[in-house]
Amino acid sequence: MSAMDGPADRDRPTGRYSVAFPKRAWYPACASGDLGRSKPLAITLMDAPVVLFRDGAGRPQALVDRCPHRNVPLSLGRVAADGTLECGYHGWRFDGCGACTAVPGLLAEPAANREVDAFAVTEADGFVWIWPDRSSAPTGAPFALPALATDVRSGEVVFSYDLDCTMHAAIENALDVPHTAFLHRGIFRGGSAATKELTAVRRDLPGGVEVQYLGEPIGMGPIQLGARTGRTFDHWDRFFLPCVAQVEYRIDGWLRVTNSILHLPISPRRTRAWFVVRFWSRLPAATVKPIVLARGKRILEQDAQMLAAQTANVERFGGERYTSTDLDVLGNAIWRLLRRAEREEQAEAAGAAAGPGDEPELPPQSVTFRA
């Protein structure tokens, strides 16, 4: 369902939300380190309860989080010595395929209806990834996090946050430049009265889209280095289907930062985000790390509050009714990709050709603005 704005935006019926959920794709389920060997982990994937655990070989597994016996969450159980998942109520055990391997106490009896549905999972780059569509075999690898140089001046910071908003709103926010001068006034952009014309150029990527910013002066908050030196950042914002936002800054020879944000749609209006910041600079990583972490969390806290207020307000008004301008360089483009992927997938599952899209028009490929 298309919820972003279009030509007749204000007259559209309400009750619309920018929620699209392509299911034949990898989504982050958890950070590898959050899934141990003895305790299972409960997650929610677009309202579906899922239990994650590691089998005897340490491989992650994912099952529907409901014991077929009395329907309690399997995530309340434990991983048995043989690497099966044991229900905490009556001790039924399940392997990674969801087959029931034991019903304690039961002597011979034909088994029926004791299996649990399983999800395909894989592990890469420090994350466990899940494939939501149980009717298709996974294809392709999960999103690859960018590799930076590995020395004392490079480092990684990871933190996560549950955002009360649609996955689309989270991604649009992560890749939106204009709000930084207002919502993050004084922290990020907007510290200086002087503004400058910038140009944003949008390009299609395979399974994604990017915007490159040209002419952005170097600076952050009150420190506006670029205004004096004339030096500029190289800056890209990117989206990769279905759930990755990425921001990259570079000053050749001085700095490179990538912030890859992996999103798990917990429900239509709640989204878990992992911020994986990888950086290289002239300074030792040990100096940079705490600054990145503190700054990142403070900005994130402000975004999270605004996104929650946005979601609550959209619900109070019974649906989204957005109005975009040329400054919204990525929002509609991301929505088009998500919505189209969902439509094509639904058509494929139904064995039919995808009908004409209901996505909004794209904004112009290049836009000049002040920031």
Closest to a second copy by CB, 88 vs 215, is: 88
> In the complex, what is the shortest distance from the CB of residue 114 to a second copy, in angstroms, rounded to a whole number?
6
Q: What are phi and psi of 347, to 5 degrees?
A: -65, -45
Task: Give the residue carrying structure tokens 């494929």.
Answer: 348
Kindly state the smallest distance separating residue 366's Cβ from a second copy, in Å.
Answer: 12
Q: At what angle do helices 285-316 and 167-174 cross, to 10 degrees?
A: 130
Rank residues 103 and 283 by Cβ distance to a second copy and give the closer one. 103
Cα–Cα distances (Å) from 182 to 177, 186, 211, 335, 364, in that order, read 10, 9, 21, 24, 24
Report in angstroms how near the CB of residue 290 gets to a second copy at its nearest: 28
Q: Which is nearer to a second copy, 106 or 144 (CB)?
A: 106
Q: For the residues of 290-341, what is the DSSP string, one character each?
A: HHHHHHHHHHHHHHHHHHHHHHHHHHHTTS------TT-TTHHHHHHHHHHH
Bridge partners of 181, per DSSP, are none
Distance in Å, CB of 269 to a second copy, minimum? 13
Closest contact distance (angstroms) between CB of 331 and a second copy is 9
The two three-digit tokens of residue 294, written as one number: 């503190």
Cβ proximity to a second copy, 88 vs 221, nearer residue: 88
Residues that bind a second copy (CB under 8 A): 5, 9-10, 47, 49, 65-66, 68-73, 76, 86-91, 103-107, 109, 112-114, 169, 178-179, 181-183, 195, 197, 306, 309-310, 313-314, 316-317, 320-327, 368-371
Min. distance of Cβ 338 from a second copy in angstroms? 17
Decide whether 154 or 310 has the Cβ nearer to a second copy: 310
Tokens 């299996």, residue located: 115
CB closer to a second copy out of 65 and 95: 65
CA-CA-CA-CA torsion for 292, 295, 298, 302, nearest 10 degrees?
-100
Structure tokens at 205: 């990527």
Residue 294 or 309: the one with the smaller Cβ distance to a second copy is: 309
Whole-number minimum distance, CB 125 to a second copy, in Å? 30
Per DSSP, the three-state class of 11 is helix
Paired tokens of 27: 């989504």
Give the integer Cα–Cα distance in Å for 245 and 182.
21
